Each structure stands twice: as structure tokens, then as C-alpha cells.
Structure 1
Amino acid sequence: MQLAKYFRVKRLALSVSCLATLGATPALAQSNDESELDQSYPRLVEQSVRSKVSIISEGDRRLGLGPDGGTKSTEAGLDIKPEWVWQLSPNWRSKLRLQAFGATGQVDVSDEIGGTTTDGFFALREAWLDYNGLSDYPGESIRFGRERLKENTGLWWDDDITLVRWIFDTSLLDSTVGVARKFAEMRTDSNELQDEEQEITRFFAKTRWQWRKNHYLGFLVTHGQGSGDQAQEAAERGQSSDEMYTESLTWAAVQADQAYFDWHSHDAFQYFAQVGAVRGTDSVVGQDSAAPSGYRARERDVAGWAADLGVRAQLMDTPRWVIGAHGAYASGGSERGDTDAFRQTSLASNRSRFTGTRSQVQRFGEAIQPEWSNLKVATIYTALSDRDTWDANLIYHRYWLADQAGTLRSDLIEPGFTGTSDDLGQSVDLVLGYYGDDATSWAPFDVRLSGGVFMPGDAYGEQADDLRHRVVLDVSKRF
């Protein structure tokens, strides 16, 4: 069995290495006559292959409460991402980014796509065209294709999706508006979308204005319009489901910050604040003895809100040493009728540089990774870094349910609440990063260690495990 796993990963690495070699061929040809290619189109302007070896260890996702025993695991993974950027003409540019992943067992690739476990796949991550001939502004363009749609917090957008969007990016104003839709996961292991993600058209817009040096105001809006009958089909099949199917939902958020996600900052004090809300309708499937299948789909009104407030103080500039605190809230609602529970856009990763370093850190804990819904979190952290080459982050989280009778969705833990307490527990994360990678040298590597422990609270009852861990060691290199 172990030999089979080994050869599967080896075949995956060899396949993508061949693919990367083919992609590098135009770059070699380019270097032979650089002056001529500078005047000709199309030309390859950027090409790289990022390879990463990971060791992933995690504790029981059922916290010892599952009927079939524990689900602890320690696995190894290999991740290869080749990408190319071409200048097709003075105004047209394109990008292609692929991914190949293989592991010795089922693991969660939560730094890329949370909530899914896999032992290997090939994937199309990005494939887009960009046209910047709309005006004389160099930061204005229109882009269409498959792209990683992302904003700084990771709490609203951070996902690969097919889209068309207008981009306007200057030193004082950064804006975008567009329409997007997921047609497939673009992966060989699980290409079909989950039921609750199918047939949703999304309209999105964001603007961020620097109204004073290093002080920003932002506004973000997303609208999801469902056009399928997934809830009704699930009910007709007699399928019980905890999923919420989008009918027509609108999210809006207002943000203010002082360069909070800029790890090069020298500011002695920084702040971040955002308040958001979701309004509209969704569908859920519930039991109904009068229905032929025993289940019926019904529409309900949704009205939830959420907030995240953070402050950071710099104690030392070189190396940079900071301490910070956050308070986050997302409304809950246990009733099956109209709900006041906040829910995320389903495009979020909840990963960002909220500690003020180069490392992307899970906002609500590496070992639990909950959705920002029916949740109250108090966070304190400290971080030390030289800004560019290395950093160390230590984070503590304390969790409560916003609605004691409600539930909580998590990428890594299957909840089993008693309904007698709102105490979810606490967690501690340690994230270390070293960024020595240089594409012109074979010697340096990037090394990242992200480790977290989650200690369940009274909401899980006395039979739950005292501690759950998740530790990921990544060693990566860009060629």
C-alpha cells in the first residue's frame, strides 16, 4: 500500500515536471535574441514553477466523539504550480497557472481550497486575458477568464472563479466591479461543484480609497443569484441536508484600516475595522411528514451581520515586534424559519496577513478553521519579523457560540454540540516563516511551519478530547 502511494506521487511529480519543461522552452528561446523579442509579440514575460513538499499531521476531526474511532493522520504531500504570463500585444496580456497535487493519504489543502480532502489531482487555477487599452491610466483594464479573486482580509473573497471584471488601480483608489460564476472545480479528482454551489451567478464590487497617507476606507458588495432547484431536488430524493441553498443573497461591508495588511509598515500604531451584513433569501430542506419523500424544501428570509475589529502596536522597529488584539462577531440563528444568522459568501478562505507579517495566517485558528458564522472570537497575538526574510507569529483565540442552540460549520471539525453551553473552547497557533527563495539560485528555499492546537470547551461535552492538533511543514522552491 505504501509503495502504491509512493509511485502515485512520483508519477504526479514527473508529469508536471515535463509540463513545466515545455513551458520553459519559449523562455529559453527568448533569451537567445532578447532585443528582437522586446519589439515582437506575443512574448513570454514571466514563467516560473513553484514546488512544495509538505508534511501534514492532524488530530481527530470528531474530537473523540465519532462512533468509528479516531481519524488522526500524518501524511506527506507534493504540490507543483507552473505559471506563465504572456504579453500578447501592447494592450493584451494573459496568464495561465496550473496545479498538480499528490499525497500519501487524504489531506485537507486548506491553504488553497478549504473544506475538501484529497490524495491528488491536476487542476486549472487561472487562465485569463487582460486588456488595458481602455484609457491612458496604466492601472485600468478589463479582465476575463478564470482568476483568483481575492481581497485583503480573505473573509469575503479568496477563490478561483470564472469572471469578467473591470479593474481600476491607482495609488489613491483601488476599485473593481464584475460578474462571476463557478462552472466546475476544474480538478481531476472532483470536478463537479457541490450542490449548494451550483448555478449561482455572482455580482461583485469593491473600492478602497486612501483618504490620508496609509489610512484607507473601503466598501465591498457581493450579490449571489441562484437559478437552480438543488433544494427541491434534494427534498424529492428524500435527502436530509444541513446545507443552505442560495436563492438571492446580498452581502455588503464597510472597512477602515491603517495599512493593516502591509507587512513593510513602520507605523507605531495600526487599526482595522469592518462591519458587514447579509440580506435576502435562501432555501433549506426539512422534514415534512405530509411530503411524499418525507422532506420538503422551503424558502426563508436571511438577515445576519458580522464585525471584526483589530488594533496593533509596534514595540520595536528593527526587527519589527508587534502585539495586537482582535474581536470578531458573526450573528447566529438556530430557528429553521427566518434566520438572523450571518453566513459567508462561500468564496472566502479566512486566510490573511492580519498579524502584520508576510505569513498568511488562518484568521480563526489553524486547528479548527470555523466559518465566520454564529461565532464570537477574542484574539490576541504577537509577531516578530524582519519584514522580508523571516517572521514568527504566536496567536491565541477564545471562542463562543453567538447562539447557544445553533451550530457551527468548520473545514476541519465535525461539530457535536450539547446545546447546554456557548463555550466552544480556545486555541493557540504558532506560525514560522523563512523566505529565502530566489528563482536565480538553486540553494535557497522557503520554509513555513504552521502549527495549532484546539482545546474544546463545554459546548462539546465532557467526552470530547482535551486537545486537537494540526501541524503543517512546507518546504518550497520557485524555479
Structure 2
Amino acid sequence: MQFPKINRLTRLTVSVGCLASMTASPLLAEEEPLQEQSYPRLLEQNISSKFSVISEGDRRLGLTPGNEISSDEVGIDIKPEWVWQLSPHWRSKLRLQAFAATGQVDVSDEVGGTTTDGFVALREAWLDYNGLTDYPGESIRFGRERLKEDSGLWWDDDITLTRWIFDTTLLDATVGVAQKLAELRTDANELPEEEQDIARFFANTRWQWRKDHYLGFLVTHGEGYGDQVEELAARGEPLDEGRDGSLTWAGVSADRDYFDWQSHNTWQYFASVGAVTGSESVSVADATAASGYSARERDVNGWAADLGLRAQLTDTPRWVIGAHGAMASGGGDADDSDAFRQTSLESNRSRFTGTRSQVQRFGEAIQPEWSNLTVATLYTAISDRDVWDANLLYHRYWLEDKNGAVYSDLVEPGFTGASDDLGESVDLVIGYYGDSSRTSWAAFDVVFRGGVFLPGDAYGDQADDVRHRVVLDLAKRF
């Protein structure tokens, strides 16, 4: 570990801690009588701090000797947050983040798909107005917000939006428009090219049609209005990953309280089926073009499904076993793509094992996108529902199209095209949530997330036998 990096980590930690301390006000000791309340009023404030140890093996699986990408680092993450009641009908929230590490690490459990050694970011800043009607669960919200649904397979990202919210005991719904304008981070404020110039429409509803049984429907439309592909073609650069597209996603789901870690149901199920359709542009070889490449539009039609079943063996402590089967189509050519692809707002992280801990749906050490992929998952978990849990998972992977690719934030493809056997992985996630009292300095949250990925024949005989990723988080909320 290099001392300059540690000093930089220490300086950033102290600076952010002082800033958060100076801007925070003491929590309200007791509520004022309703008739005497004044505005604006601070409803909630806290500072979440987390110290992490992060270790991971070579992202290139040993296929590029001398150019391995692996790391063993430590990091610290601080998130101050404030919620205000500005008037009887207006509410606002502000959430910031400062992260620093001793080297380049992936923060996929937070912001996804980026490596960094530190940044300061604006995570959320929104206004909410609930004076549209007299119904208490209805409001309109605009600003930058964490847009999330339970499975994490469709939405779990910070984005600038305007949306209508309807929240009741039996029916939840939201409809809105959104666009990623910038990362709003000091290390990489500009969006990745594949996420630039996309206007989005989204809608989601979840209806409890019977006690603990839910039906859901989700739709997202992304309309690209840039000219990135034309620019790449003019420079003579190929691109087989479509951009500047007009794509629509639709998904339906059914579950029996599947993401409720406090459930006492003996049997629980989850079923989700989705599809994407539309068109996108690619840059392909063209002998008639001056640059040797031209932009071409291709049709996109893909599908995906995720089916899960869980049984509770004992109630106290809660011990469950479960199985999932996830599929996502692959294949296609320069004119048509049959591959399903996700919305680019997903995290693939959720409480799908029936415990409080957030677990990576497709493996902690590989974290693939839900595309051109078949995954069989078996898991078991034990917990007391509130304070501690332990999750053990096994994943087996296959390529839907062995000549295609599976994209991952952690592992570079390197496929041989000779097999559809992508490999297997084992994960262990253990959580202890003792931070229930902000007045107790002894109460901390401790989460261990460890995984190993064993590459299959799709990577050839020269790939490493195993790749690991281990993250240990020690967190405290003030």
C-alpha cells in the first residue's frame, strides 16, 4: 500500500467529515405541537459512513499475461443526507457522497460499472409536492432521485426525473420522464458514450390482488437523439453494440411477498418475463464509404425471464432454500439483433434470497449483464429477519449464443466461440445490522460479500481456474 494514497484518503475523509458536521443540525428532540409547527422544518438528517476492504482477482482471467487487472484496496464512503418539510405540501431531500480509496476499485454496489479511487458526488436532490389531491399517498416529484424497483433488474440508479407517485396499501404506481444529464461526480462528470443523449419514459405498477400476492407491470422507453454512431463511422471505427436507438422494454411479474425479508410465509414465488423491441444503429464495414465504415440501423427483438421459488424450512430463525432460473436471449447480425439487453438503469442487486442483505443476482465475482445468458441458481439463507443473516449461493452459467458475448463490469469477455459453457460461481453474503440506535457508538453494520468465479470452456484452456471478489464493509450511521 502506498503512503501517498493513504494520506489522500485520510485528507478527504477528514474534510468531508468536518463539512458534514458543520452543515448538520442536531436532530429534533421532540415534535412540536401540530398547530405550532413552523416551516421549513428538518424532518431527518444523518451521516452514513462506511469503511471497506476490497479484494478482487484478475479481470482478464489470466488471458493477457503481464497486463493483469487485480486489486487489494481499502476505501471509505461518507453520505450525509437531509430531508426537509418546506411547507404543508412541499418536501425535499438532499443526499451527497464522498468516496476515497487507496487505488482503483469498482463500486458496482453503489453506482455501477465504474472504477475509481475517489470522488465527491451529488446523489439525490429532489422536491416533492403532495397537494395534487387530498389523498395522502399521491405526489409529484422532480429532481435527481434514486429510481428503484424491488428486483433491481430494471431500475436502480440515480437519474434526473419528473414523476407522479401513487402509493397505497394495495396499489403502488409511478409514471414519469427521465434523462441522465451528467454523473455529477468530480472524477467523471461526463456520461459514458452509451448513456448520452437518451430521453426516457417509464411507468410501473404493483397491485396486491390477494394477501401477500402481487402482480406487476413495468414499461420503459428510451429514445436516443444523438449522432454518435455516424461520428464513429465517419472516423472509420466499428461498433457492434447498438446506440442512438429507439427501444421499448415491457415486463410483467408475479410474486408472493418475495422481497420481504420479514415474511413468515412457508412458500414464496417470483416470476418475471420481459421483452425489448425497437431499433438501433451500428457501425459496420462498407467498401463504398470513404472511411470504410457506415452507420446502419438494425431491428432489435429480445426476451428474458427470471423464475424463482423459495421454501421456508424453519420460522425462528428463518431458514430458507430457493432456486432460480434466469434466461435472456442472444444472437443476431448486422441487420437484426435477437439479444435482450437491459435498460442501463439496473443494478441486478436485490433481497431475492429472503434476507435483509442486498445480494448480486448473477454472482458477486462476475456480475454479468442479463443478456445472451442462462443462469441456474440455488441458494440457502438463514436469518433472524432484522439483525443478522447468512446467504450461500451457487450459480451455473451458459451462453445463449456461443458466438456472442456477455458483458460484465468485472470480467472482460475473452470468449473462444467454441463452447457455450460460461462457468460457475459460489457466493457467501453475511450481514450483521446492529446500527439500530444512533446514540450507541457500539452499534455497527457489518456486511461481508465474497464470491469466486470459475471460468468455463467458453474462455478456453488458458484462463485462470478461479477469480475472486471479496468486500468487507463496516458501516455506522450518525
| TM-score category of the 2 structures, normalised to the smaller one | over 0.9
Spell out, residue by residue over 1:97-148, the C-alpha distance to the aligned partner (whole angstroms, 9 max, x if none).
0000000000000101221100000000000000011112111000000000
Instruction: Give the secondary-structure state (helix, strand or coil) at the position aligned to 2:263.
Output: coil
Give the total of aligned pairs: 477
Match of 2:308 in 1: 310
1:386 equivalent in alignment to 2:384? yes
Q: Which residues in structure 2 correspond to 1:333-352 (within 5 Å)?
A: 333-352=331-350
Q: Which residue of 1 aligns with 2:475?
A: 476
Residue 56 (structure 2) aligns with = 58
Q: How does 1:21-170 map to 2 (within 5 A)?
A: 21-25=21-25, 27=26, 31=29, 34=32, 39-170=37-168
Return 135-144 or 284-293, whichever deviates more: 284-293
The whole-number CA distance in structure 2 between the counterparts of 1:19 and 1:317 is 45
User: Of 184, 188, 192, which aligns to 1:186?
Assistant: 184
- Compare 257-266 and 244-253 and name the one that shifted more: 244-253
TM-fit CA distance, 1:36: 9.3
Percent identity between matched residues is: 74
Secondary structure at the aligned position of 1:249 is classed as strand
Post-superposition Cα deviations, 1:347-401, rounded to whole Å, max 9, x if no partner, equal 0000000000000000000000000000000000000000000000000000000
Q: Which amino acid aligns with 1:467?
A: V
Distance in 2 of aligned mates of 1:81 and 1:285 = 41
Q: 3-state SS of the aligned residue for 1:335?
A: coil
Equivalent residue, structure 1, for 2:443: 444
Structure 1 SS opposite 2:441: coil
**Where do 4+ consecutive residues of structure 1 move more than 3 Å?**
30-38, 240-243
**CA gap 1:156/1:266 in 2 versus in 1, 3 angstroms:** same
Q: TM-score, normalised by structure 1?
A: 0.97
Which residue matches 1:364?
Answer: 362
Q: Secondary structure at the match of 1:21?
A: helix
User: What is the DSSP-based 3-state SS (H/G/I as helix, E as strand, rest coil) of the residue aligned with 2:51?
Assistant: strand
Q: Is the 8 A contact 2:353 2:380 kept in 1?
A: yes
In the alignment, which residue of structure 1 is the partner of 2:413? Answer: 415
Which residue in the other structure is 1:211 paired with? 209
C-alpha distance in structure 1 between counterparts of 2:118 and 2:289, whole Å: 41
1:211-233 Cα deviation digits (max 9, x unpaired): 00000000000000111101111
C-alpha contact 1:58 1:471 (8 A) present in aligned 2: yes
Distance 1:379 1:217, change over 3 A: same
Q: Which whole-Å CA distance do the structure 2 matches of 1:388 and 1:133 have between them?
A: 35
Query: What is the letter of the counterpart of residue 10 of structure 1?
Result: T
Asked if 1 retains the 8 angstrom alpha-carbon contact of 2:229 and 2:244, the reply is: no
Counterpart Cα distance in 1 of 2:95 and 2:195: 23
- Of the structure 1 ranges 159-168 and 38-47, higher mean CA displacement relative to structure 2 is found in 38-47
Unaligned 5+ runs, structure 2? none
**TM superposition shift of 1:88:** 0.3
8 Å CA contact retained: 1:252, 1:278: yes
Deviation (angstroms), 1:18: 2.0
Q: Mark the CA change 1:38 to 1:125 in structure 2 (over 3 Å): closer, same or farther.
A: farther
Residue 6 of structure 2 is aligned to residue 2 of structure 1: no
Q: 1-side partners of 2:17 and 2:95: how far apart?
A: 14
Following TM superposition, by how much is the alpha carbon of 1:68 offset from its aligned partner in structure 2, in angstroms?
Answer: 3.2
The unaligned stretches of length 5 or more in structure 1 are none
Seen in structure 2, the aligned counterparts of structure 1 residues 306 and 36 have a Cα distance that, compared at 3 Å, is closer
- What per-residue deviation string (whole Å, max 9, x for no partner) do you get for residues 285-320 of structure 1? 223333222222211100000000000000000000
Which amino acid is 1:230 matched to?
Q
Aligned to 2:175: 177
* Paired residue secondary structure (1:244): strand
Distance 1:49 1:328 in 2: 37
